Amino acid sequence: MKQLLCITSYFFFFAVSFFYADSFRISNMHSYVFDRDAFAPVSLTIGYNDAVSFAVKSDFLVLEGIELEIKQDKTSMNYPNSIAYTVYTDIKPEPSKKYVDYSAKKISTALLPNRFSYILRIPLKKDYTFKHIKNSELLPYTGRIGVSPIMLRLNPVMKGLPDDFEQASFTVIIRPLLIAEGGLKLKLQFPEKEQKPVTVQLNNEYLTQFENLQLLLPGTYSVSISSDAYRTEMRSCIVERGKITQLEVQLKSITPLLHIQAPENTAVFLDNQEIGLSKEPLPVTVGMHTVVFKMGSYELTRQITVEEGKTYEMTMTMDVLLQEIAN
């Protein structure tokens, strides 16, 4: 009868406190900040009067929720209805190991069921797709959750717990709930400040807004970039669930390029104009060009026909020919 009275009082107290911020003291705070949507799951062991806080500092492009799994050991399961869990937002001060006194707004609370594992699912987006699963609680969506920290607190609600309960431990696992798709972010690097029109195809389908994030089912995709002003570029990329694939493509002008190499002290003339030798290719016009190499009294002339969108390399070499002459 005393236990029933204690539990009834507990629910009355928490029903009232939903409208006000709670003030409470914990034993230890475990705080995490994740810097990406697809963060690696975190597992930690806490005591019966500890709390776990976490925040996600990302764009929430592929993250739509957080899953918290609470596992009990045998000690706590020997005393059913002895522990409550509560989820908070609007936490003050900022969660830290150096603080034990907090004020926060409750969004959910209940007695921890007497089973080995219990799961809480917290939506971070209004239009989430994950489902309620067995032996779990699906919290309502609230726009406050996400960037600001969320706290999970455990606390005893039964008086007269034995001394061995001090050794009870709970494992909390934090997992991301990701959308079924992954993302592809295409970034084009143009050769000049003035960006000329391009056409982008993804798996042979035209993208009208290729600069936007593309949400795609996992798989391999081909990207084609064509233009009247730039050379055609083809790329292949892999999109994984819950991850953003960054694809950066350097566009090249369709102006033909000519790279000339010659021995030191060689004078080089392109269409009767002397040019300096450089490691970088020279832009040239489409059509026929004449290249003359002069070294002392030695002169060598070559002609080349240049086509649009191609790069050419012309190299002058000096060689020695040794032949055996019969007597």
Query: Residue 210 pLDDT > 60, yes or no?
Result: yes
Residue 325 lies in a domain: no
Q: Please state whether the peptide bond connecting residue 93 to the residue before it is cis, i.e. omega within 30 degrees of 0.
A: yes
Q: Quick one: 20 and 131 in the same domain?
A: yes
User: Contact, 259 vs 276, CB < 8 A?
Assistant: no
Residue 274 lies in a domain: yes
Query: What distance in Å separates the CA atoms of residue 233 and residue 199, rounded to the nearest whole number?
Result: 11
Structure tokens at 113: 């069921």
Q: Calculate mean pLDDT across residues 115-139.
A: 92
Residue 292 lies in a domain: yes
Residue 321 lies in a domain: no
Query: What distance in Å separates the CA atoms of residue 261 and residue 278, rounded to the nearest whole number?
Result: 8
Number of domains in the chain: 3
Q: Quick one: 193 and 278 in the same domain?
A: no
Q: Quick one: 64 and 204 in the same domain?
A: no
- Amino acid 265: pLDDT: 87
Q: End-to-end CA distance of the chain, in Å?
A: 128
Q: Calculate mean pLDDT across residues 60-65.
A: 90
Q: Calculate mean pLDDT across residues 187-213.
A: 92
Residue 320 lies in a domain: no
Q: Quick one: 129 and 143 in the same domain?
A: yes
Residue 87: which of 113, 63, 52 has the closest Cα?
52
Any idea what the CATH number is for the domain that residue 137 is in?
2.60.120.380
Q: Quick one: 98 and 234 in the same domain?
A: no
Query: Residue 27 pLDDT > 90, yes or no?
Result: yes
Q: Quick one: 16 and 102 in the same domain?
A: yes
Q: Quick one: 261 and 211 in the same domain?
A: no
Give tens-digit pLDDT for 251-285.
998 889 999 999 888 999 999 999 988 888 898 99
Between 62-76, 78-92, 153-167, the lowest mean confidence (pLDDT) is in: 153-167
Q: Distance of CA 239 to CAs 109, 184, 217, 219, Å?
A: 39, 7, 7, 5
Residue 110 lies in a domain: yes
Query: Residue 68 pLDDT > 90, yes or no?
Result: yes
Between 111-115, 148-152, 286-290, 307-311, the lowest mean confidence (pLDDT) is in: 307-311
Q: Quick one: 100 and 9 in the same domain?
A: yes
User: Contact, 295 vs 243, CB < 8 A?
Assistant: no
Residue 326 lies in a domain: no
Q: Quick one: 19 and 78 in the same domain?
A: yes
Q: Which domain holds residue 70?
A: 2-178
Q: Quick one: 278 and 291 in the same domain?
A: yes
Per-residue confidence band for 13, with pLDDT thresholds at 50, 70 and 90: very low
Residue 276 lies in a domain: yes
Structure tokens at 89: 């937002």
Residues near 204 by Cβ (< 8 Å), separated by ≥ 6?
Answer: 222, 224
Query: Residue 146 pLDDT > 90, yes or no?
Result: no
Per-residue confidence band for 141, with pLDDT thresholds at 50, 70 and 90: confident
Query: What distance in Å separates the CA atoms of residue 291 and residue 267, rounded to the nearest whole number?
Result: 11
Q: Calculate mean pLDDT across residues 293-297.
A: 89
- Amino acid 144: pLDDT: 60
User: Contact, 224 vs 161, CB < 8 A?
Assistant: no
- Amino acid 17: pLDDT: 52
- Amino acid 3: pLDDT: 47
188: left (phi over 0), alpha (psi -120 to 50) or beta: beta
The edge-to-edge listing of strands for the beta sheet with 101-111 is 21-25, 101-111, 83-92, 150-156, 51-56, 29-34
16: part of which helix (H) or strand (E)? Answer: helix 2-17
At residue 47, what is the residue type? G
Structure tokens at 182: 């992954």
Q: What's the whole-number average pLDDT of the chain?
A: 89
Q: Quick one: 273 and 246 in the same domain?
A: no
Residues near 53 by Cβ (< 8 Å), separated by ≥ 6?
Answer: 29, 30, 31, 32, 91, 95, 149, 150, 151, 152
Q: Quick one: 191 and 292 in the same domain?
A: no
